[in-house]
Amino acid sequence: MPMEIVLGYDAMTGYAMVCFGAMAGFLTSITNPYNVGVAQGIADLPLFSGMGYV
C-alpha cells in the first residue's frame, strides 16, 4: 500500500488491488472444484465433464 499512497491513491485502493489479485487467482483456477462446478452448471454442461483433459 505505500506505493499506492505515494502515487496519490488512498489506502482503500491499495487494499482493493491486493484483494482483486487474490480473487482473480482464486476464481481462474481450473482445479477449484466449487468454481468449476458452478460455472459448468451455468453453462449447462455435465458436472466436471472436462476433468479428463487436465
**Please, what is the average pLDDT of the chain?**
83
pLDDT at 54 over 70: no
Of 11-15, 39-43, 49-53, the range with the lowest mean pLDDT is 49-53
Please enumerate in sequence order all residues whose Cβ is within 8 A of that of 35, keeping only pairs 6 or more positions apart, or say none. Answer: 26, 27, 29
Indicate the DSSP class of residue 15: H
What do you get for the CA distance between the two ends of the chain, in Å? Answer: 37
Q: Is the pLDDT reported for residue 15 higher than 80? A: yes
Interatomic CA distance for residues 21 and 31, integer angstroms: 18
For the chain, helix, strand, coil in percent to 5 are 65, 0, 35
Model pTM above 0.85:
no
The pLDDT value given to residue 44: 92
